[in-house]
Chains A and B, each alone.
Chain A
Amino acid sequence: MMNIVRVVFFASFKERLNCGSLSVTLEDNATIAGLCGELASKDGVWKEIFHKPSQAVKVAHNQQIASLETVLADGDEVAFFPPVTGG
Protein backbone atom coordinates (compact mmCIF):
# COMPACT_ATOMS: atom_id res chain seq x y z
CA MET A 1 0.00 0.00 0.00
CA MET A 2 1.16 3.54 -0.70
CA ASN A 3 0.66 6.54 1.54
CA ILE A 4 0.41 10.15 0.48
CA VAL A 5 1.83 12.68 2.96
CA ARG A 6 1.68 16.45 2.74
CA VAL A 7 5.07 18.09 3.28
CA VAL A 8 5.37 21.77 4.23
CA PHE A 9 8.40 24.04 4.52
CA PHE A 10 8.90 27.30 6.39
CA ALA A 11 11.17 30.32 6.54
CA SER A 12 14.65 29.89 5.00
CA PHE A 13 13.83 26.34 3.83
CA LYS A 14 10.76 27.52 1.93
CA GLU A 15 12.87 30.24 0.29
CA ARG A 16 15.89 28.11 -0.53
CA LEU A 17 13.73 25.32 -1.96
CA ASN A 18 11.37 27.80 -3.60
CA CYS A 19 8.59 25.52 -2.39
CA GLY A 20 5.95 25.94 0.34
CA SER A 21 4.36 22.50 0.19
CA LEU A 22 4.14 19.33 -1.85
CA SER A 23 2.67 15.83 -1.72
CA VAL A 24 4.92 12.80 -1.54
CA THR A 25 3.90 9.18 -2.10
CA LEU A 26 5.68 6.75 0.22
CA GLU A 27 5.60 3.05 0.90
CA ASP A 28 3.72 1.69 3.89
CA ASN A 29 5.59 2.10 7.19
CA ALA A 30 7.96 4.68 5.71
CA THR A 31 9.55 6.96 8.32
CA ILE A 32 10.44 10.65 8.26
CA ALA A 33 14.03 9.56 7.59
CA GLY A 34 12.72 7.74 4.50
CA LEU A 35 10.87 10.88 3.46
CA CYS A 36 14.13 12.86 3.83
CA GLY A 37 15.84 10.33 1.53
CA GLU A 38 13.08 10.84 -1.01
CA LEU A 39 13.42 14.64 -0.83
CA ALA A 40 17.24 14.46 -0.98
CA SER A 41 17.00 12.53 -4.26
CA LYS A 42 15.75 15.76 -5.89
CA ASP A 43 19.35 17.07 -5.85
CA GLY A 44 20.66 20.65 -5.43
CA VAL A 45 19.37 22.46 -2.34
CA TRP A 46 17.07 19.51 -1.61
CA LYS A 47 20.11 17.29 -1.19
CA GLU A 48 21.90 19.93 0.92
CA ILE A 49 19.04 20.09 3.41
CA PHE A 50 17.66 16.55 3.46
CA HIS A 51 20.64 14.26 2.88
CA LYS A 52 21.56 13.26 6.45
CA PRO A 53 19.70 16.29 7.89
CA SER A 54 21.63 18.23 10.53
CA GLN A 55 20.45 19.35 13.98
CA ALA A 56 19.41 22.61 12.32
CA VAL A 57 16.63 20.81 10.45
CA LYS A 58 13.61 20.70 12.74
CA VAL A 59 10.70 18.44 11.91
CA ALA A 60 7.07 18.30 13.00
CA HIS A 61 4.65 15.42 12.43
CA ASN A 62 0.98 16.45 12.38
CA GLN A 63 2.04 19.72 14.03
CA GLN A 64 3.96 18.10 16.90
CA ILE A 65 7.77 18.10 17.13
CA ALA A 66 8.93 14.66 15.91
CA SER A 67 12.03 12.57 15.30
CA LEU A 68 13.33 11.00 12.09
CA GLU A 69 12.17 7.57 13.31
CA THR A 70 8.48 8.58 13.26
CA VAL A 71 6.42 6.26 11.05
CA LEU A 72 4.12 7.99 8.58
CA ALA A 73 0.53 7.17 7.66
CA ASP A 74 -1.67 8.22 4.77
CA GLY A 75 -2.82 11.84 5.07
CA ASP A 76 -0.12 12.88 7.58
CA GLU A 77 1.45 16.33 7.50
CA VAL A 78 5.21 16.69 7.92
CA ALA A 79 6.82 20.12 8.34
CA PHE A 80 10.52 20.99 7.99
CA PHE A 81 11.88 24.27 9.33
CA PRO A 82 14.96 25.92 10.83
CA PRO A 83 15.22 26.64 14.60
CA VAL A 84 12.52 29.07 15.72
CA THR A 85 13.33 32.76 16.31
CA GLY A 86 10.10 34.45 17.43
CA GLY A 87 9.34 36.70 20.36
Chain B
Amino acid sequence: MTNMNQKSSPLLSPNYTIAICSEPLDLAALNGRIQKGVGEHGASVIFTGSVRASDEEKGLVAMTLEHYPGMTESTLQSIIEQAITRWGLVNVVVNHRVGRLTAGEPIVFVGASALHRLAAFEGAQYIMDYLKNKATFWKKEHYIVYGKETSHWVAEKKSDEQSLSRWSE
Protein backbone atom coordinates (compact mmCIF):
# COMPACT_ATOMS: atom_id res chain seq x y z
CA MET B 1 0.00 0.00 0.00
CA THR B 2 1.35 3.39 -0.97
CA ASN B 3 1.30 5.91 1.79
CA MET B 4 2.30 9.39 0.75
CA ASN B 5 2.54 10.36 4.39
CA GLN B 6 2.81 14.04 3.56
CA LYS B 7 2.48 16.48 6.39
CA SER B 8 0.83 19.71 5.43
CA SER B 9 2.65 22.94 6.17
CA PRO B 10 1.24 25.26 8.88
CA LEU B 11 -0.12 27.46 6.09
CA LEU B 12 -2.19 24.53 4.87
CA SER B 13 -3.99 23.50 8.02
CA PRO B 14 -6.51 20.82 7.06
CA ASN B 15 -10.19 21.56 7.19
CA TYR B 16 -13.30 19.63 6.30
CA THR B 17 -17.04 20.00 6.12
CA ILE B 18 -19.77 17.36 6.39
CA ALA B 19 -23.40 17.90 5.47
CA ILE B 20 -26.40 15.60 5.35
CA CYS B 21 -29.10 17.40 3.39
CA SER B 22 -32.61 16.87 2.14
CA GLU B 23 -32.20 19.51 -0.58
CA PRO B 24 -30.61 18.69 -3.98
CA LEU B 25 -26.78 18.89 -3.96
CA ASP B 26 -25.35 21.94 -5.75
CA LEU B 27 -22.35 20.22 -7.35
CA ALA B 28 -20.90 23.45 -8.78
CA ALA B 29 -20.95 25.14 -5.37
CA LEU B 30 -19.43 22.07 -3.67
CA ASN B 31 -16.70 21.86 -6.28
CA GLY B 32 -16.08 25.57 -5.79
CA ARG B 33 -15.34 24.92 -2.13
CA ILE B 34 -12.78 22.26 -3.06
CA GLN B 35 -11.15 24.39 -5.75
CA LYS B 36 -10.76 27.35 -3.38
CA GLY B 37 -7.04 27.53 -2.70
CA VAL B 38 -6.31 24.49 -4.85
CA GLY B 39 -3.54 26.51 -6.52
CA GLU B 40 -1.66 26.17 -3.26
CA HIS B 41 -2.60 22.53 -2.67
CA GLY B 42 -1.81 21.41 -6.21
CA ALA B 43 -4.29 18.57 -6.60
CA SER B 44 -7.95 17.91 -6.07
CA VAL B 45 -10.26 14.99 -6.75
CA ILE B 46 -14.04 15.04 -6.69
CA PHE B 47 -16.41 12.10 -6.78
CA THR B 48 -20.16 12.17 -7.22
CA GLY B 49 -22.51 9.22 -6.93
CA SER B 50 -25.98 9.53 -8.45
CA VAL B 51 -29.20 7.59 -8.82
CA ARG B 52 -28.59 5.60 -12.03
CA ALA B 53 -30.83 6.90 -14.80
CA SER B 54 -30.21 3.59 -16.63
CA ASP B 55 -32.18 1.85 -13.86
CA GLU B 56 -35.24 3.73 -15.12
CA GLU B 57 -35.49 1.06 -17.82
CA LYS B 58 -36.08 -1.48 -15.05
CA GLY B 59 -38.89 0.72 -13.77
CA LEU B 60 -37.02 2.67 -11.07
CA VAL B 61 -38.94 5.86 -10.32
CA ALA B 62 -37.27 7.07 -7.14
CA MET B 63 -35.05 6.26 -4.20
CA THR B 64 -35.47 7.12 -0.54
CA LEU B 65 -32.46 7.56 1.73
CA GLU B 66 -32.67 7.30 5.49
CA HIS B 67 -29.90 7.82 8.05
CA TYR B 68 -29.12 7.73 11.77
CA PRO B 69 -28.79 11.40 12.76
CA GLY B 70 -25.78 11.97 14.98
CA MET B 71 -24.09 8.63 14.35
CA THR B 72 -23.79 9.32 10.61
CA GLU B 73 -22.00 12.62 11.19
CA SER B 74 -19.64 11.24 13.85
CA THR B 75 -18.80 8.21 11.66
CA LEU B 76 -18.02 10.45 8.67
CA GLN B 77 -15.96 12.72 10.90
CA SER B 78 -13.73 9.87 12.05
CA ILE B 79 -13.34 8.53 8.47
CA ILE B 80 -12.32 11.98 7.20
CA GLU B 81 -9.91 12.57 10.09
CA GLN B 82 -8.20 9.26 9.36
CA ALA B 83 -7.86 10.19 5.68
CA ILE B 84 -6.44 13.60 6.56
CA THR B 85 -3.86 11.98 8.84
CA ARG B 86 -2.90 9.27 6.36
CA TRP B 87 -2.67 11.34 3.16
CA GLY B 88 -2.18 14.87 4.46
CA LEU B 89 -5.38 16.05 2.79
CA VAL B 90 -5.80 19.82 2.99
CA ASN B 91 -9.47 20.25 2.30
CA VAL B 92 -12.30 17.71 2.39
CA VAL B 93 -15.99 18.23 1.60
CA VAL B 94 -18.52 15.42 2.06
CA ASN B 95 -22.21 15.99 1.34
CA HIS B 96 -24.85 13.26 1.32
CA ARG B 97 -28.51 13.45 0.35
CA VAL B 98 -31.35 11.99 2.40
CA GLY B 99 -35.06 11.85 1.59
CA ARG B 100 -36.63 11.08 -1.78
CA LEU B 101 -34.45 11.30 -4.91
CA THR B 102 -35.31 10.73 -8.55
CA ALA B 103 -33.21 9.15 -11.33
CA GLY B 104 -30.11 11.15 -12.23
CA GLU B 105 -29.98 13.10 -8.96
CA PRO B 106 -26.67 13.20 -7.08
CA ILE B 107 -26.65 11.18 -3.84
CA VAL B 108 -23.16 11.90 -2.58
CA PHE B 109 -20.30 14.33 -3.18
CA VAL B 110 -16.79 13.67 -1.92
CA GLY B 111 -14.04 16.19 -2.65
CA ALA B 112 -10.46 16.09 -1.41
CA SER B 113 -7.47 18.29 -2.09
CA ALA B 114 -3.83 17.58 -1.33
CA LEU B 115 -0.32 18.55 -2.36
CA HIS B 116 -0.07 15.77 -4.96
CA ARG B 117 -2.55 13.84 -7.07
CA LEU B 118 -1.94 10.37 -5.60
CA ALA B 119 -2.82 11.59 -2.11
CA ALA B 120 -5.96 13.31 -3.42
CA PHE B 121 -7.05 10.24 -5.42
CA GLU B 122 -6.39 7.76 -2.65
CA GLY B 123 -7.78 9.98 0.10
CA ALA B 124 -11.05 10.51 -1.78
CA GLN B 125 -11.35 6.80 -2.58
CA TYR B 126 -10.66 5.83 1.03
CA ILE B 127 -13.36 8.21 2.27
CA MET B 128 -15.84 6.85 -0.29
CA ASP B 129 -15.04 3.18 0.48
CA TYR B 130 -15.49 3.71 4.21
CA LEU B 131 -18.60 5.83 3.73
CA LYS B 132 -20.20 2.96 1.76
CA ASN B 133 -19.35 0.42 4.46
CA LYS B 134 -19.62 2.32 7.73
CA ALA B 135 -21.78 5.43 7.43
CA THR B 136 -25.33 4.80 8.67
CA PHE B 137 -27.37 5.39 5.52
CA TRP B 138 -29.97 3.05 4.00
CA LYS B 139 -31.41 3.13 0.49
CA LYS B 140 -34.88 2.11 -0.54
CA GLU B 141 -35.72 1.80 -4.24
CA HIS B 142 -39.17 2.51 -5.65
CA TYR B 143 -40.21 0.77 -8.86
CA ILE B 144 -43.25 0.83 -11.08
CA VAL B 145 -43.59 -2.60 -12.64
CA TYR B 146 -46.62 -3.38 -14.83
CA GLY B 147 -48.28 -0.25 -13.50
CA LYS B 148 -47.85 -1.20 -9.85
CA GLU B 149 -45.54 0.63 -7.45
CA THR B 150 -43.33 -1.60 -5.36
CA SER B 151 -40.38 -0.76 -3.18
CA HIS B 152 -37.57 -2.61 -1.48
CA TRP B 153 -34.60 -1.88 0.73
CA VAL B 154 -31.29 -2.27 -1.08
CA ALA B 155 -29.17 -5.22 0.09
CA GLU B 156 -25.51 -4.79 1.03
CA LYS B 157 -22.95 -5.63 -1.64
CA LYS B 158 -20.09 -8.00 -0.83
CA SER B 159 -17.87 -6.04 -3.25
CA ASP B 160 -18.26 -2.95 -1.04
CA GLU B 161 -16.96 -4.82 1.99
CA GLN B 162 -14.08 -6.27 -0.03
CA SER B 163 -13.11 -2.77 -1.15
CA LEU B 164 -11.95 -2.01 2.41
CA SER B 165 -9.23 -4.66 2.36
CA ARG B 166 -7.09 -2.54 0.02
CA TRP B 167 -6.63 0.03 2.79
CA SER B 168 -5.25 -2.28 5.47
CA GLU B 169 -1.75 -1.16 6.34
Contact = CB atoms under 8 A, between A and B. Distances in A.
Interface of A: 8, 10-12, 15, 60, 63-65, 79, 81-87
B137 A85 contact: yes
Contact of A63 (B65, B74, B132, B139): B74
A-B residue pairs, 10 tightest by C-beta: A86-B137, A11-B138, A83-B156, A63-B71, A87-B132, A12-B153, A85-B154, A85-B139, A87-B131, A87-B108
A12 B132 CA distance: 18
Given A10-B68, A83-B155, 4 more contacts: A79-B71, A84-B132, A84-B134, A85-B157
Q: Select the residue from B74, B96, B139 with max chain A CB neighbours within 10 A.
A: B139
Nearest to B157: A85
A65 B68 CA distance: 12
B133 interface: yes
B153 A81 contact: no
Interface of B: 49, 65-68, 70-71, 74, 96, 107-108, 128, 131-140, 153-157
A86 B68 contact: no
Nearest to A16: B153
B74 A86 contact: no
A85 B135 contact: no
B135 A82 contact: no
A12 to B, nearest CB: 4
Contacts of A86: 65, 67, 96, 107-108, 131-132, 135-139
A65 B71 CA distance: 9
B140 A11 contact: yes
12 contacts: A8-B68, A12-B153, A81-B138, A82-B153, A84-B133, A84-B137, A84-B156, A85-B137, A86-B65, A87-B108, A87-B131, A87-B137
A65 B75 CA distance: 10
B84 to A, nearest CB: 19
B50 to A, nearest CB: 11
Contact of A81 (B68, B107, B140): B68
A84 B70 contact: no
